[in-house]
Amino acid sequence: MKATILYGARDVRFEERPDPKIEKPTDAILRLSATCICGSDLWPFRGIGFFAEPPTPMGHEYCGIVEEVGKEVQNIKPGQFVVGSFAASDNTCVICHHGYQSSCLQREFMTTAQAPVLRVPLADGTLVPTREFPPKELVPSLLTTSDVLGTGWFAADGANVKPGSTAVVVGDGAVGLLAVLSAKQMGAERIMAMSRHESRQKLAREFGATDIVAERGDEGVERIKELTNGIGADSVLECVGTQESMMQAIRSARPGGFVSYVGVPHSVTLDGAGLFFAHVHLHGGPAPVRRYLPKLIELVLDEKINPGKVFDLTLPLSEVAEGYLAMDERRAIKTLLQL
């Protein structure tokens, strides 16, 4: 098959690779219905923080049809339409039982999903079949549950968004926008989206943002304080992963408030005393998407949410390199790759 390989900074190629096959009896092979490019893929694309040394395959968001399963797979059957998390998990260990499947004792991060065919480890634990074969138009939204929506959902959950909460979302990438959608679903009364890009502001409003804050840094924090009677928000959802965004998030929360952070922090350090006197709750990490998948899939199939709207560029998989460039240059929020 032909698939996506990153050769180095800004060097994405679509080229021949061996077809994936069952390697362990707990594996499944999927024929993907769609895949996409994640904001986190831009870090290695820009030459920062490679997870693996290039040349390396790319991609960790996926949904599609089961072609084959290993001998020990019991619940997943060929012909099913399935979605899985970007982190494969057994869903049976004690950490999975606590709802932290993305830190499963057997966790494997997916890294080869920008391809037509995908091997998924720990298929029984990782994959969730849909109750019915989905109509084609729902595939993009189902694809988002695999990571970007699940991560936005974790941001809202980790920041303790409840009915009536005031919430701030830092970051207007696809995760930030879906964090807005998630906060809305969890009943936030007020959702302040920090964004300075018109098309993203528009989508944030469509997903439920009640206020747009274009200011950043000190001015951004001041504006949030103005909007929250001077005290800061109950919940702040940090969806960027830089020092500036993290500090903006922490400073935008009220004492006793909750700050979540869901993108891998890059060169971020937190001062202990500063955090202490900020008096916030802080929670983050790789989103335990598997915990949320059954619910998110239902919300999509019932058409209660339309997270697929974050895809504002659709390309054939063969043009994946252009998809990276468009996101890197912020011409696209998120690129859907068709098969």
Q: Cβ closer to a copy of itself: 54 or 285?
A: 285
Q: Cβ closer to a copy of itself: 210 or 242?
A: 242
User: Cβ 66 to a copy of itself, closest distance in Å?
Assistant: 29
Q: In terms of Cα–Cα distance, which of 111, 99, 159 is closest to 290?
A: 99
Q: Which residue has the tokens 């959950």?
A: 157
114: left (phi over 0), alpha (psi -120 to 50) or beta: beta
Q: Per the structure block, which two tokens stand in for 37?
A: 């490019």
User: Cβ 271 to a copy of itself, closest distance in Å?
Assistant: 6
Q: Cβ closer to a copy of itself: 135 or 276?
A: 276
Q: Cβ closer to a copy of itself: 278 or 320?
A: 278
- Helix, strand or coil, per DSSP, at residue 204: helix
What's the rounded Cα separation, in Å, for the pair 316 and 334? 14
User: Cβ 44 to a copy of itself, closest distance in Å?
Assistant: 14
Burial class of residue 136 in the structure, from the number of CB atoms within 10 Å of its CB (0-12 exposed, 13-18 middle, 19+ buried)? exposed
What's the rounded Cα separation, in Å, for the pair 333 and 207? 15
Q: In terms of Cα–Cα distance, which of 124, 118, 18, 103 is closest to 58?
A: 118
Beta bridge partners of 14: 4
User: Cβ 240 to a copy of itself, closest distance in Å?
Assistant: 11
User: Cβ 173 to a copy of itself, closest distance in Å?
Assistant: 17
> In which element (H, E) is residue 56 found?
strand 56-57
Q: Cβ closer to a copy of itself: 279 or 330?
A: 279
Q: Which residues bind a copy of itself (CB under 8 A)?
A: 94-95, 98-100, 102-103, 105, 229, 231, 241, 243, 246, 254-256, 261, 264-273, 275-286, 288
Q: Cβ closer to a copy of itself: 52 or 105?
A: 105
User: Cβ 160 to a copy of itself, closest distance in Å?
Assistant: 10
